[in-house]
Amino acid sequence: MLEEVKIGDKLRLRKAHPCGGFEWEVVRIGADFGLVCLTCEHKVFLSRRELQRRMKEHFPKAAGTE
Ligand SMILES: [Zn+2]
């Protein structure tokens, strides 16, 4: 499942960010995954394993809807 995560996808994590937000957007993919909190725009980096553990829902960016 995690292999399908792409830049622009939205994720929902198990634990809320301190700002209260649950949703994140993927902004970087590599050794670490870069996520931006959609509520406060705070940026975090998570390893693949960490992301896999924290991710609750994945909302792939729909193709061709922009
Ligand atoms: Zn936040």
The CA distances from residue 6 to 1, 3, 21, 27, 33, in Å, are 11, 8, 20, 8, 10
Q: Distance, CA 23 to ligand 1 centroid (Å)? A: 8
CB count within 10 Å of CB 14 equals 10
Nearest to 7 by CA among 22, 25, 23, 32: 25
User: Is it the case that residue 66 has pLDDT exceeding 60?
Assistant: no
Residue at 64 is within a domain: no
pLDDT tens digits, 7-63: 999 999 999 999 999 999 999 998 899 999 999 999 999 999 999 999 999 999 876
Domain count across the chain: 1
The structure's pTM equals: 0.85
Q: Distance, CA 27 to ligand 1 centroid (Å)? A: 15
Residue at 66 is within a domain: no
Q: Distance, CA 64 to ligand 1 centroid (Å)? A: 28
Query: What pLDDT does 49 receive?
Result: 92
Residue at 44 is within a domain: yes
Domain that holds residue 25: 2-57
Query: What pLDDT does 2 receive?
Result: 59
Residue at 33 is within a domain: yes
Residue at 41 is within a domain: yes
Query: What pLDDT does 65 receive?
Result: 53
Q: Distance, CA 51 to ligand 1 centroid (Å)? A: 16
Q: Distance, CA 33 to ligand 1 centroid (Å)? A: 16
